[in-house]
Amino acid sequence: MSDISIQASDGGTFSAYLAKPAMSTAPGIVLIQEIFGVNKEMREKADHFAEAGFVVTCPDLFWRQEPGIQLTDQSQGEWDKAFALYQGFHEARGVQDLISTLFHLRSLPECQGSVGTVGYCLGGKLAYLMATRSDADCSVSYYGVGIEGALEEAAAILRPLLLHIAEEDQFVSKEAQAEVKGALSASAHVTIHSYPGVDHAFARKNGTTFSQNAADLANQRTHAFLKEHLG
């Protein structure tokens, strides 16, 4: 497990955490951060996906503001910092950085070629946008924030997309959830799972809203989805 550098499409380089499986070649995953940066939580998730048989890269999407930021959800100061970074985040450039990461991952000798995306929170929306704007082989979104504002892009989804929605999500209203479900549920490429009684970030281990049962179920569904579509 190590940090690598990736060339941005508009100049400069950014870092990404790289986790490799035991086998010599494997499918790839671009793991997309929450608003807390490529922190211990994201690195551990990358390691777990690698243990399951994937080559994983988790890029630093806040590098234009503050490279290497690593926060938690355990203090108000860290929440304030995370929201400030989120407010300053340039979404379109972030998607381009993810596409650059996708290309880089596919070029690695350890990657067999098939690459999907998995994102959480901010990364959950970006995983949706990777399904609409990139040629990722499949994408998984955990409690993406703001997807309802990009539903006009839904017609561009041509590859499998899996959405995990927290029904008591404090950052995604019931109305927004209904919009997403209404717009995407009829698509042959989209699978939606909704989790009653759980809040945003239910799969953030050791987080303030973690739910073991919901996380286990969502993670099982994610791994089955990735195995089916990435091989």
Rounded to an integer, the average pLDDT of 42-57 is: 97
Between 220 and 113, whose confidence is greater?
220
Q: Which of 200, 216, 223, 229 is catalytic?
A: 200
24 pLDDT more than 90: no
Q: Please report which helix (H) or strand (E) contains residue 107, including its range.
A: helix 91-107
31 pLDDT more than 90: yes
User: Is 200 in the active site?
Assistant: yes
Per residue in 181-229, pLDDT (tens digit) is: 999 998 999 999 999 999 999 999 988 899 999 999 999 999 999 999 9
Burial code (b: 16+ CB inside 10 Å, e: under 16) for 45-82 equals: bbeebbebbbbbbbbbbbbbeeeebebbbeeeebbebb
Say how far apart CA 118 and CA 67 lie, in whole Å. Answer: 21
Rounded to an integer, the average pLDDT of 164-173 is: 97
Please give the domain boundaries of the chain with CATH numbers for all domains: 2-230 (3.40.50.1820)
Residue 142 DSSP SS3: strand
> What are the angstrom distances between the C-alpha of 203 and each of 5, 10, 138?
28, 33, 20
Q: Which of 97, 169, 199, 229 is catalytic?
A: 169
User: Is 169 in the active site?
Assistant: yes
Question: So what's the pLDDT on residue 187?
Answer: 94
Q: Please report which helix (H) or strand (E) contains residue 138, including its range.
A: strand 138-142
Per residue in 118-132, pLDDT (tens digit) is: 999 999 999 999 999
Question: So what's the pLDDT on residue 48?
Answer: 97
